[in-house]
Structure 1
Amino acid sequence: MKIAEMKQALPGLAAISFRLPDGTYLPAHFHVTEVGLVTKHFIDCGGVERRETVANFQLWEAGDYDHRLAPQKFLHILNLSDKILGTEDLDIEVEYQQATIGKFGLAFDGTDFVLTPKQTACLAQDACGIPNALVALPQLQAASCCTPGGGCC
């Protein structure tokens, strides 16, 4: 999800809810403690220099059970953050404290903001000698044999 999409979604909501990938909801008293610009400058395993920039939201909860972030207030926070985020329509990454700080992507289903899993990946598979078929193979095996009656257990 991009910043502009979130800004378009917020005015039509009566309340803000965030849902984790497992379907559970963040408590209604969550806080948005940070909106920031995160730039990662790195070299991948194939030696290619790369940069990634995202808008980062940090969500947090505490014992402040009376706290409720209204959609209009969140939109106001996003508009204030324009001076930090700039004018580029950035992808949103969300940090949320679980056993450790989890990083998630963000989607919107028309009602809820959904924290989506993020995965690591080799960005230079060709330079590392990883064939594309090898990357997809575990998914094919799981789909074909690890079903009830599939004989893998």
Structure 2
Amino acid sequence: MKLSEFKSALASVQTLNIQLPNGNPVPSHFHVTEIGKVSKQFMDCGGKIRNEQSINFQLWEARDFDHRINPEKLAHIIASSENNLNLDDREIEVEYQSDTIGKYGLDFDGAKFLLTTKRTDCLAKKTCGAPKGYIDNAPVETAVCCNSGAGCR
């Protein structure tokens, strides 16, 4: 979800409800502790230099049950971040604490925001030697190389 899509969805809700990929809600007393512009420059396994930019929201929860963020307050924080950080309309990545800091995508179902799972992928399959017919983004337990009779792409 891009920042413009998030702001539009945010304007349509009375309360901030966020759901984890497993269906559990993020506790309603969470805080948005950071909004940032993230630039990542890296080299993929095929030797190509790449640049990615995103917007990062960091969610944090504590035992502070009296200070709940509402849509208007978050809209104000976003506007301030846009002005001070020169944010473009980029994809949002959400950081949320679980066993370690988890990184999630973001979606909206019309009533609540959904944290979506993210996966790693090889960006240079043709040049780095990934097996031909490898199933892109398959879960680790099912990621296999296809044989000619497996019906893979």
TM above 0.5, one fold? yes
Q: CA, structure 1 residues 72+115, in 2 after alignment: closer, same or farther (shift >3 Å)?
A: same
Kindly report the root-mean-square deviation, in angstroms, between the aligned alpha carbons of the 2 structures.
1.7
CA contact 1:55–1:85 (8 Å) conserved in 2? no
More helix per residue: 1 or 2?
A: 1
1:13 corresponds to 2:13: yes
Q: Which residue of 2 aligns with 1:104?
A: 104
Partner of 1:146: none
Partner of 2:52: 52
Match of 1:4 in 2: 4
Match of 2:79 in 1: 79
Counterpart of 2:149 in structure 1 is: none
Query: Larger deviation: 55-64 or 85-94?
Result: 85-94
Alignment CA distance shift 1:132-1:59 (3 Å): farther
The alpha-carbon deviation at position 130 of structure 1 amounts to 2.0
Mapping 1:114-133, distance limit 5 Å? 114-131=114-131, 133=133
8 Å contact 1:37–1:84 — kept in the other structure?
no
TM-score (norm: length of structure 1) = 0.85
| Misfit runs of 4+, over 4 Å | none
Moved more, 85-94 or 67-76: 85-94
Secondary structure class of the residue paired with 1:134: coil
**Alignment of 1:28 onto 2:28:** yes
| d(CA) in 1 for partners of 2:87, 2:33 | 21
Gaps of 5+ in 1: 143-153
- The answer (yes or no) to whether the contact 2:55–2:87 under 8 Å persists in 1 is no
Give the residue type in structure 1 aligned to 2:50: R
Partner of 2:147: none
TM-score (norm: length of structure 2): 0.85
Q: Is the 8 A contact 2:104 2:117 kept in 1?
A: yes
User: How many residues matched?
Assistant: 140
Question: Aligned to 1:51, what secondary structure does the other structure show?
Answer: strand
105-114 or 84-93, which deviates more: 84-93
Does the 8 Å contact 2:55/2:91 carry over to 1?
A: yes
- Identity, % of aligned positions: 50
Quote the Cα distance in structure 1 between the aligned partners of 2:85 and 2:21: 26
Q: Deviations over 1:3-60 (max 9, x none)?
A: 0011111121110011000000010000000000111100000000001100000000
Q: Residue type matched to 1:53 in 2? A: Q
Q: Secondary structure at the match of 2:103?
A: strand
